[in-house]
Amino acid sequence: MTVNNKPWKNESYHDTFESADAIRQKLIRIWETNSKHEGMQVKVKWLESKNKIAVKTRMDPNLIKEVPKEEKKNGKSRKRNKKNTGGRMFDPTASI
């Protein structure tokens, strides 16, 4: 079973954990005082490929309001429901 969670955004990259943790703590302090940022999450993650530490942020997926997806209409239905335009290949009124 796959869980499709909301992705994290890379806020910044650092060479040491201490500098990354300082940014993380700063973001937490800012978010605690501002209700606009309610439900924000932050984490510090080691990126092996870049040999750096990333500070990542996202909105809590449980607090995001899900917008229901609208069903796509089939393209054929529009063509099938068209009125008779009169310009057909065979015209029965043109017979001898």
Q: What is the pLDDT of residues 26-38, one digit of tens each?
A: 999 988 988 888 8
CB neighbours of residue 24 within 10 Å: 20
* Confidence band of 47 (pLDDT split at 50, 70, 90): very high
Q: pLDDT band for position 88 (50/70/90)?
A: low
Q: Is the pLDDT of residue 76 over 80?
A: no
Tokens read off for 48: 């092996």
Distance of CA 69 to the CA centre of its chain: 13
In the block, tokens 């984490």 appear at 43
Calculate what percentage of the chain has a pLDDT beyond 70: 66
